[in-house]
Amino acid sequence: MKSVFAIALTCALTCALFAAVAADAADKAVVKAETKEAFDTVAAQVRAEMSADGRYAYIKPDERDRVDASLAEMGRLFDANGSVDKMDKDTKVKLFNAQENVNAILTLRDRDRLICERGAQPGTRIVGTSCHTYGDLEAARQASAKFMNERAVTPCNAPSCLGK
């Protein structure tokens, strides 16, 4: 009886945590600026966070190019108009689309994004929920790939076979 209660409590707390994190994440726009000055600050922060140890460190090179291109386009729109209030409707649509492109990529590659999965826990048949951040999962994937590459099977690992 205690085991069933513990499992139910764990599931309820996990669901509550997931809902709270999801609601908090939904409220946060990654790139949002109304004036040229605010945009310049946000763009500089985004570029800094795309560095090797930043929040968006796991962004892929082609995605980084798309983010940089969208930020440059947004910068040109702000240079021409100064603020969102001074933009015509077509320019606002261009700004919105560029902003959404950046937000979509950065949200996907955010190392702090929580990913939860339901499945059997190791060593048991009991289904449970397991949550990890995108950064943790990516770091584990990269470490695993590095481990496998370092220990790649060759026909002969002896120094004489490797030309040493």
- Residue 71: closest CA among 111, 41, 51: 41
What integer pLDDT is reported at residue 88 of this predicted model?
Answer: 94
H/E/C letters for each residue in the chain? CHHHHHHHHHHHHHHHHHHHHHHHHHHCCCCCCCEHHHHHHHHHHHHHHCCCCCCCCCCCHHHHHHHHHHHHHHHHHHHHHCEHHHCCHHHHHHHHHHHHHHHHHHHHCCCCCEEEEEEECCCCCCEEEEEEEHHHHHHHHHHHHHHHHHCCCCCCCCCCCCCC
Rounded-to-integer distance, Cα 5 and Cα 92, Å: 53
The average confidence (pLDDT) of the chain is 80
Q: How confident is the model at residue 154 (pLDDT cuts 50, 70, 90)?
A: low
> Residues 98-131: pLDDT tens digits?
999 999 999 999 999 999 999 988 888 889 999 9
* pTM recorded for the entire structure: 0.67
Q: Which residues contact 91 (CB under 8 A, 6 or more apart)?
A: 77, 80, 81
Higher-pLDDT residue of 37 and 9 is 37
- Residue 109: closest CA among 48, 28, 50, 22: 50
Q: How confident is the model at residue 8 (pLDDT cuts 50, 70, 90)?
A: very low
Higher-pLDDT residue of 118 and 31 is 118
